[in-house]
Structure 1
Amino acid sequence: MKNSELLIVVVVCELNIYILQVLLSSVQHITKGPDYEMLEPWLNKGLLTSTDQKWHSRRKMLTNTFHFKILETYVPSLNNHSRSLVKNLINASNNGKSIADIDSHVTLCALDIVCETIMGVNLRTQEGKSTDYVKAIKNVSHILIKRIFTFWYWNEIVFYLSSIGREFRKSLKLLHNFTENVIKERRKILEETVEQKKTDGKAGKKQIYSFLDLLVGVSKENPGTMTDNDIREEVDTFLFEGHDTSSIAITMAIIHLGLDQNIQNLVRDELFEIFGDSDRDATMEDLKAMTNLERVIKETMRLYPSVTGITRTLKEPLHLEKYTIPSKSVMVVVPHLLHRDENIYPNPEKFDPDRFLPEQCNGRHPYAYIPFSAGPRNCIGQKFAMYQMKTVLSTILRYTIVETLGTQQSIVISTQLIMRADYLPSVKITPIPNKSITSHTHLQINQPSSECKVYEFVISIARQKKPYL
C-alpha cells in the first residue's frame, strides 16, 4: 500500500441494484480500490489500474483496437489454438483416462491465444515451449494474490525483503524484458515495412495485426501519445486480463457441459446445423450464430464471475436516496452474491442456460448481470472474450464428447482477486467416432504489410484530431 490512511469499506451486500447502478454507471467514481495498487508493479498505470483523465483518454483511444473489423482478423488464431487444445485433451484422455487438470490445459490455450493476438508472438505453450515465461506469469500471479491477502506484505519494504518479494522481482523482470523486446521488434518491423514501400512501392504479403502493432501504429501517427512504456503497460494489462479470466469461464463451462448431456447435445446439434460434417474453421458469422452456446457461457459466468469483487474508492461523497457515503470510502460490489439473488434468478444454484432466453431476459434489470462489470469501466475486451470462449468450446464439442466425473456440489471455488478453482472433478474426453480433427494453417501474426485494410482503418482514425471513435 502506498499510504496508511484508515479506509472505510462499504460492501454492497444487500443486493440493492439501485446502489449498484448509481456506483457503476458514474463517470466520477471510476477509481479502483486499494487492492489494485498491488498490481501496479506489473501493470503500472494501464487501463485496469489508471483513473481520471489518463483513464478517460486511454479508454477512448483503445476502443479502436477492439473494433469488429480487427476482432474478425483474430478468428484464425482462435481456431488454430483451439484445435491444438482439442488434440491435447484427446491425447490426455487416451485409453479412457480422465483429466484431473482440465484447467491447466485451458489456461495454456488461452495464454497462446492472448499472446498471439496481443503481442503477435506464438509462444506455443501448448507444445511445451516458453516454459520460463509461463512459470514467470504463474509466479507473479500467485505472489500478487498472496500479497493482497497478507496484510504485512502491504508494506513495500517488508514485501520486497521477503523471499517471495525477491522471487516476484525476478519473475517480473523476465515478463517486462520480454514485453519490451517484443515492442522494439514490432516497431522495427513496422518501420522497415513502411520504408520498403517508400523505396520500391511494394509491400510484403498480407498479414494480421496484433494489438501491439496497432498501438505502435497509433503512437507513430500521434507522436507523444504513447511511449514504449505506455504501450508495455497496456500490453501487460491485456495479457493479465485476457488469459486468466477467459480460461476460468471456459473451464467451468466444460465442467457443466460434462455434467448435463442434454445441454451438451443441444449445443452440439446447433453446431451441426452450422458446420454439418465439415472440418472447416469457424468464421465470425458462425460464432454469432451460436446462440445456444452463448447462453451456456452466460450462465457459466453468472455462477462463476471471474472477478470476485468490483471496487471503487470514492474521491467525493456518493449521494444515495436515504444516505450519503463519505469520500475516501471503498465500495465493494460482489457479483457472486448478485448473481445468486433468488429474487432475480429463481433456484440460483441450478445451472440453467434458459435463464438467458430472450423472453427470460426481458424485464431483467441491466445491472442484475455484471460478469464484465458495467458502466463506463466495463470490460473493453468483452466481445473478444466471448468470441474466444465460443471458439474454444465449439471446437471441443464438434470433435469430442465431454463427461464430468463428479457433481456440481464437489466443485470448490476460492474467491481471490480472480476466481479460482481449488477443486474440480475430473473430466473424460472421448473423440466422436469418424470425426478427426486436423491442423489448419492460418495467417500468422508476423510481419505487417501496409496493404492490410485493418491497419489502414486504425491509422486513419489515429490521424484524426481525436484518436478514437
Structure 2
Amino acid sequence: MESSWLETRWARPFYLAFVFCLALALLQAIKLYLRRQRLLRDLRPFPAPPTHWFYGHQKAFFYIYDPDYAKIFLNRTDPKSTHLCKFLTSCVGKGLVNLDGPKWFQRHHLLTPGFSFNILKSYVEVMAYSVNTMLDKWEKICSTQDAALEVFEHISLMTLDILMKCAFSWETNCQINSTQDLYVTTMVEASKIIFYDLYSFFHPQGIIFKFSHEGCRLQEISNMLHQYTEKVIQDRKKSLGDENKQDNTQKRNYQDFLDILLSAQAENGDSFSDSDLQSEVNTFVLAGHNSSAGALACLLYHLALNPEHQERCREEIRGILGDGASITWEQLSEMNYTTMCIKESLRLTPPVPSISRELSKPMTFPDGHSLPAGITVVLSIWGLHHNPTIWEHPKVFDPLRFSQKNSDQRHPYSFLPFSAGPRSCIGQHFAMVELKVAIALILLRLRVTPDPSRPLVFLPQTVLKPQHGLHVCLKKLTKC
C-alpha cells in the first residue's frame, strides 16, 4: 500500500503536466484549423490548384499576374518577404534592396543622386572600355574559325568589371584573370550561394541553413566583403582628407558610387554610418552584377534566334556610331529600334522573375476581392509578361510591341522589368545604359547565331540565370 501511495504521489504532477500539454496542443490545433478555414474562405474567390486535405498548399504564396492587381500591390508599403532578404542581409548587410519603412525612404532619398543622368553620362566611357575588353577576348577566340562559345561567364565578369569601376573606380583586371582579386572571387561565390536553388526545401529554414556548409561559407564571405569595403572606404576618406594630395576624384573624369555615398554621409552622418555605407556598396555590386549579366545574356540569345532583328539593330547602330571608335551618351537616345529589342527581351525574360511582399494590412483589388494581412503575395513578373490577355502571341519575339503607338495603348503596369511604384529599381537607368552600350558594341564587331545543340535553359532563381551557360556561335565582322 505504501509503495502504491508513493507511486501515485510522484506520478500525479507528470499526469497533470501531460494533460496540460495535451490541452495546449489541442488548442493550437484548433487555432491552426480555424486559421486554415479563414484562409480558405478568403481565398475562395480566387482560382487555385486543389488543396491537400492536411496541409493545404505546399507553399503559402499567393501569386498575381494581372496589371490591375500589380498596380494595387506595388503602390503599397508592405515589407518585402524575408525569404530572400535574410540571405542578402547575412552577406551584404541592410542595403536599399532589403530595407523597409522609413529607413528605406531615407536611404532611397540619399542614394537617388548617384543615379542621376549627369552621373550616368560619365559612366558610358567606363562601360564601353569594359565591353571592348570582353570583345577583344571573343575576337581572339573566333579569329581563325567561327566559334561556338559559352559566353555567360564572360558577360558576368564584364558586368562585374563595370560595377567595380563605377562603385570603387577599381581596376580589378577580373576579365583577364578573375582569380587575382579577393573581392571579385568572394562576390562571385556569394552570388552562387545566395541565388542558387533559393527555393529548395532547406534554404528557407534559417537554422538548418545557418549550420550547413553553405551557411558557414556565406558567413565567412560576408566577413571578407565587409573587411574589403571597410578598407576601401577608409583609404578613400584618407585620400579625400589629405589636402596636399590630388584625390582620386580629381584624377578621374567621373564620380564613382563611393564618392556619392561619402557625400551623402558627410551631410547625414548621424543617420548614415560606415556600416550602412558598406552595405550599399556591396548591394549595388551584388544585385547589379547578377541582374545585368542575366539581362544581357538573354538579349544576346534572343537576337541570335532572330537574325532579322539582329541585322536591323546592327544597321541602326552603324548609322549612329559608324565604326564604333567611340560612343556617347547622346547617341544612346538615337537607338530606337535597338531599345525596342532590349525591352522585348526584358519582357520575354525579365531578370527578376518575381517580387514578393508580406501584407501588413488587408489588400483589396479593383474587382472587390480582398486578401487578409499576413499573406505573402508574389507578383509574377514572368507571368505578367506572358499573360495572353495583355500580349498577343506572348512567346513570339516582336520588338514592335514597344513602338510608341503600341506602348501608349497598353496598361502602364503590364511591363515591369524594373518593378514600379515607390520601390521601383533605383538602378534601372544604369541598367538600360549598360545594355545599350554593350549590345551596340557587340553587334558592330560580331554576328551572333544560336548553338542548336545547346538551347538556353533557366534556373528557377530569384535572379534569372542560364542553368548550363549561354552557348552561341560568334563570327567576326569585317569592317566596311
Decide: shared fold, TM above 0.5. yes
Q: Residues of 2 paired with 1:149 and 1:364: CA distance?
A: 33
Is 1:90–2:139 an aligned residue pair? Answer: yes
Q: Is the 8 A contact 2:124 2:328 kept in 1?
A: yes
Q: Is the 8 A contact 1:248 1:420 kept in 2?
A: yes
Identity %: 28
Matching of residues 304-323 of structure 1 within 5 Å: 304-320=349-365, 321-323=367-369
Matching of residues 171-190 of structure 1 within 5 Å: 171-190=221-240
Query: Which has the greater radius of gyration?
Result: 2
Residue number among 38, 58, 78 corresponding to 2:107 in the alignment: 58
State the match for 1:238 in structure 2. 284
Counterpart amino acid of residue 61 in structure 1: L
Q: Is the 8 A contact 2:172 2:181 kept in 1?
A: no
SS, match of residue 106 in structure 1 = helix
Q: Is the 8 A contact 2:348 2:386 kept in 1?
A: yes
Deviations 1:333-388 (A, max 9, x none): 11111111122111111111111111211210011001101111110010010000
Seen in structure 2, the aligned counterparts of structure 1 residues 65 and 131 have a Cα distance that, compared at 3 Å, is: closer
Alpha-carbon offset, residue 155 of structure 1: 4.2
Residue number among 174, 178, 181 corresponding to 1:125 in the alignment: 174
Moved over 4 A (4+): 5-8, 203-206
State the match for 1:166 in structure 2. 216
Residue number among 361, 375, 380 corresponding to 1:334 in the alignment: 380
Residue number among 127, 136, 153 corresponding to 2:186 in the alignment: 136
Residue number among 378, 394, 400 corresponding to 1:354 in the alignment: 400
Deviations 1:400-445 (A, max 9, x none): 22222228x932112211112124563122221136xxxxxxxxxx
State the match for 1:80 in structure 2. 129
State the match for 1:448 in structure 2. none
Is 1:280–2:325 an aligned residue pair? Answer: yes
State the match for 2:97 in structure 1. 48
SS, match of residue 281 in structure 1 = coil
Is 1:411–2:461 an aligned residue pair? Answer: no
Is 1:427–2:472 an aligned residue pair? Answer: yes
Seen in structure 2, the aligned counterparts of structure 1 residues 331 and 283 have a Cα distance that, compared at 3 Å, is: same
Alpha-carbon offset, residue 188 of structure 1: 1.4
Q: Residues of 1 paired with 2:289 and 2:250: CA distance?
A: 31
SS, match of residue 392 in structure 2 = coil
Alpha-carbon offset, residue 111 of structure 1: 0.2
State the match for 2:421 in structure 1. 375
Deviations 1:84-127 (A, max 9, x none): 01111112324225343211110000000011101221212111
State the match for 1:221 in structure 2. 267
Alpha-carbon offset, residue 174 of structure 1: 2.1
Q: Residues of 2 paired with 1:126 and 1:363: CA distance?
A: 43
Q: Residues of 2 paired with 1:147 and 1:375: CA distance?
A: 28
Residue number among 31, 43, 63 corresponding to 1:12 in the alignment: 63
Q: Residues of 1 paired with 2:478 and 2:74: CA distance?
A: 49
Is 1:25–2:51 an aligned residue pair? Answer: no
Q: Is the 8 A contact 1:116 1:122 kept in 2?
A: yes
Deviations 1:124-166 (A, max 9, x none): 2111143543332232222223573344344444323222222
State the match for 1:395 in structure 2. 441
Counterpart amino acid of residue 241 in structure 1: A
Q: Is the 8 A contact 2:149 2:471 kept in 1?
A: yes
Is 1:289–2:338 an aligned residue pair? Answer: no
Alpha-carbon offset, residue 44 of structure 1: 1.8
State the match for 2:50 in structure 1. none
State the match for 1:441 in structure 2. none
**TM-score scaled by length of structure 1:** 0.84
Alpha-carbon offset, residue 325 of structure 1: 1.3
Counterpart amino acid of residue 426 in structure 1: H
Q: Is the 8 A contact 1:93 1:428 kept in 2?
A: no
Q: Residues of 2 paired with 1:432 and 1:154: CA distance?
A: 48
Q: Is the 8 A contact 1:40 1:49 kept in 2?
A: yes
Counterpart amino acid of residue 132 in structure 2: R
Q: Residues of 2 paired with 1:415 and 1:17: CA distance?
A: 23
Seen in structure 2, the aligned counterparts of structure 1 residues 134 and 99 have a Cα distance that, compared at 3 Å, is: farther
Q: Residues of 2 paired with 1:364 and 1:33: CA distance?
A: 33
Alpha-carbon offset, residue 196 of structure 1: 5.5
Q: Is the 8 A contact 1:308 1:335 kept in 2?
A: yes
Moved more, 219-228 or 245-254: 219-228
Seen in structure 2, the aligned counterparts of structure 1 residues 204 and 164 have a Cα distance that, compared at 3 Å, is: closer
- In the alignment, structure 2 segments of 5+ residues that lack a partner are 1-31, 40-59
Q: Residues of 2 paired with 1:428 and 1:305: CA distance?
A: 24
**TM-score scaled by length of structure 2:** 0.82
Q: Is the 8 A contact 1:34 1:313 kept in 2?
A: no
Matching of residues 202-213 of structure 1 within 5 Å: 204-205=250-251, 207-213=253-259
Seen in structure 2, the aligned counterparts of structure 1 residues 146 and 294 have a Cα distance that, compared at 3 Å, is: closer
Calculate the aligned-residue CA RMSD, in Å. Answer: 2.4
Alpha-carbon offset, residue 244 of structure 1: 0.7
SS, match of residue 95 in structure 1 = coil
Seen in structure 2, the aligned counterparts of structure 1 residues 147 and 274 have a Cα distance that, compared at 3 Å, is: closer
Seen in structure 2, the aligned counterparts of structure 1 residues 348 and 334 have a Cα distance that, compared at 3 Å, is: same
Q: Is the 8 A contact 2:142 2:476 kept in 1?
A: no
Residue number among 161, 165, 170 corresponding to 1:116 in the alignment: 165
* Number of residue equivalences: 422
State the match for 1:463 in structure 2. none
SS, match of residue 347 in structure 1 = coil
